[in-house]
Structure 1
Amino acid sequence: MTAGGPPPVTVINDKDDHPDWTAAAHTAHDPDLGRLTIDPSPANGAPAALAHDLLYALGKRLPQGGETHGTWADSQRPAWDAACAWTLAHHIGHLIVCRTDRLTHARFRQLLTLRERSGIRLTLLWHRPVSPALTTLLDETPHHIIDALPHARVALEQTEHPPADTSNPGQHPNSEPAPCQDNGQWITPHAPLNGVVVDRPARTPCPGAAGGTPSASPSPHGDGFTARDVLTVRLTTVAHPLHAAALTIHAITGADINRLALTRSIDITETATAVKVHDSTAHRRCRLYPLPSWASPLIRAARIHGQLKDHAPDSPLFPLITAQGGEQLHLTAAGIRYALGSTQ
């Protein structure tokens, strides 16, 4: 959250519904600068449809392949939890929403709730004359209205600094893997990296990853496009932060379902540059692994998701998706054609 709460809502009143106003909003879309523009479809009647629009704008793809696979995405609160976590993890500080005059009251309230939870700057395009309905919706929300296109362009191009509790010094705010050719083939994991063994004195609790110093950062890409490159791109499209983080940790460290089930928020460094993987419940020789830059937003999103859910930092991070042999995680892995649990 920003200090003192989020900025006032900006309402851009395009009362004549002129295409130049919408074009200006689309031009402002630049996730690398922390600005995201979404153009919701009023035809989508799903309760979580607006959260889906936000996830798609962030490059995420909803799960496919059956009712069990998509249960969380079909539920309003889990979908918005995921959207909020990704918004913070990718340092989105300004959300621009077109066609808000067509949104239902419930969806309008969803946007205002996201603003409160994430501290973002929220800009709404209202493509008709201001009505009592808009006044009622914003009755208790600080806001201002802009009705001139030059002023609207200035407002649309505003950027916000990332919230202080999600900053990642020294890394690009959207450290995405380079584009590569994906032939849709199944990918099996590469040999995992060798983490740094962290000994635990007897009769002491297993500490988290804070203060850990892995020996070297892994290279996110080799020479030319490889299966690892393709996998990193696929992982960035996984829509749920916990699923994305668990699969990323598996791909980098080789941690099986049982060890993933032991992972806690405190096992990820504040900057999401390293993760601690436990050897077993005995915690005798746990290992600390460095994380490549592309993985940091994915891992950081999982920590943020836990904070949004008010989970204790030392509680398991992936309890639901590692239950029953990791059934839910295997379904997500199948969705990106990743052979979870295989070796190479």
Structure 2
Amino acid sequence: MTSTPSGAAPDETFHNWTPTWSQDHTDPSLPPITLITDTDDQPAYTTTALAAHQPKLGRIAVHPTPLATAPAYLAHDLIRALGKHLPPPDIAPPWWTGNADESWRAAAAWTQALKISHYVICRAHRITGRHLEHLMALRELTRIRLTLVVSGPTPAALAAILNAVAHHQIDTLEDAHQHLNQDPLSQAPASYPWWRSTSFPAPHDELWYVLPPRPRRPAGTPDEPTISSYGTPTRLPCTDSRPPSIALPAHTNLGTLSPHHETVAQRIHTRIAHPVHAAAVAIRSLTGYSTDQLPQLTIATPQHPRADLPTDLPDWARLLQDAARIHTDLLPAHFSGADRPFRFGARDRNDVAHATESCHLVAAHVRRARQRS
């Protein structure tokens, strides 16, 4: 077993975060990286690592997509390992999936909100040097334990990183098993319902839900069409064209929550990979706010005590709001807003609209006022 000292502690806390890492700025108080070396590429090592996947304990095992070299791909693999799905290949992807910085911000926000404390990366010898640097940046930000399983010789890019950070090495299957199953209990609630994933994509015969009636304030343009990633107009199905079976009640107090909201929560967890979009769909399912109203919504602050969003959100929705807030805190300052949780533009509105539909949620029918002659 070997160990290596790390460099100097960083001079500042990460704010307005980008997934960049420097060997000269690493925190020596972080948990050492564990390198599990499998020089003979024995399947038992990968099987043992994948069996260590225990989300309720804050431990996530990740099997990276083979031969995926784009900078965003490893972030997508982490998000998928958390039980979330990106759109299948035949669906136009959200804009952020092609942006490495935004993909890693989403992974970082979920990591912190879900209290993930340990990532186990299988076949780490196959990921690129760029991926490793992004992973090191995530480690610095979230202070996770990091275990890398290397099957074969340690690649030069990884060896260079290990020379700069504290690490220790394991080279027997027995020691690997012991290491992978010694995490302390996570702070995650014991009955956390989202770890029970739902179908993806949604089956054609899945029950549809009608969102609560759209609130009158703030004003907006409810008939504005959304534009797909292909640039073509699209509308979510309304009750006129696709009548769902059940209408969700508006969330005015905890006593009005429908038991169907747990089903909605599971759909959001499985089918929406971006934390802000997931939080937005959750708020829509509880309040009926439309995509044009979301960017105008406010939360209570000392400077602006009046708020549009309820303060007594159920736990599953509050966790999503926390993930969205963490994500916003990682953005450049001019994108953030202390009193507006959904400060996003047209592209995000489109993505939220399509994410709503992916959860088989539809807007309530809006009655038009009669025009006076």
Q: TM-score, normalised by structure 2?
A: 0.69
What is the rounded CA distance, in whole Å, between the counterparts of 1:56 and 1:343 in structure 2?
Answer: 36
Instruction: Kindly provide the CA deviation profile for residues 46-78 of structure 1, in whole angstroms up to 9, marking residues without a partner as x.
Output: 3311111111111111135654x4211121111
Decide which of 274, 277, 286 is 1:240's aligned counterpart.
Answer: 274
Pairwise CA distance, 1:244: 0.4
Letter in 1 for 2:252: N
What residue number does 1:288 align with? 310
Tell me the CA shift for residue 242 of structure 1.
0.5
Moved more, 248-257 or 98-107: 248-257
Secondary structure (helix, strand or coil) at the match of 2:316 reads: helix
Q: Is the CA contact (8 Å cut-off) linking 1:5 and 1:119 kept in structure 2?
A: no
Q: Secondary structure at the match of 1:11?
A: strand
Amino acid across the alignment from 1:176: W
Match of 1:328 among 333, 351, 366: 351
Alignment equivalent of 1:116, drawn from 140, 143, 161? 140
C-alpha separation in 2, matches of 1:41 and 1:179: 21
CA distance in 2, matches of 1:41, 1:259: 38
Deviation at 1:231, TM superposition (A): 2.3
| Correspondence 1:102 to 2:126 | yes
Kindly indicate whether the alpha-carbon contact (under 8 Å) linking 1:85 and 1:241 is maintained by their aligned counterparts in 2: yes
Q: How many positions carry a matched residue from both structures?
A: 296
Q: SS of the residue aligned with 1:235? A: helix
> Structure 1 residue 176 and structure 2 residue 194: aligned?
yes
Structure 1 position 252 matched with structure 2 position 275: no
- Please give the secondary structure, in 2, of the residue aligned with 1:288: coil
Which range moved further: 180-189 or 231-240? 180-189
1:96 aligns to what SS in structure 2? strand
Tell me the TM-score normalized by structure 1. 0.74
* Alignment check: 8 A CA contact 1:245 1:299 kept: yes
Larger Rg: 2
Question: Which is worse superposed, 295-304 or 80-89?
Answer: 295-304
Task: Output the amino acid matched with 1:303.
Answer: R
Aligned partner of residue 126 in structure 1, secondary structure: strand
What one-letter code is carried by the residue in structure 2 that aligns with 1:295?
A
Residue identity (%):
32
One-letter identity of the residue aligned with 2:263: V
- Name which of 144, 149, 152 aligns with 2:176: 152
Q: Does 1:20 align with 2:38?
A: no
What does residue range 161-240 of structure 1 map to in structure 2 within 5 Å? Answer: 171-172=189-190, 174-176=192-194, 183-189=205-211, 190-195=248-253, 216=254, 219=257, 221=259, 226=260, 228-237=261-270, 238-240=272-274
Q: Which amino acid aligns with 2:249?
A: A
Contact 2:249–2:257 under 8 Å retained in 1: no
Quick check: 2:297–2:308 contact (8 Å CA) kept in 1? Answer: no
Residue 339 of structure 1: aligned partner: 362
1:186 is displaced (CA, Å) by 3.7
CA–CA separation in structure 2 for the residues paired with 1:4 and 1:133: 20
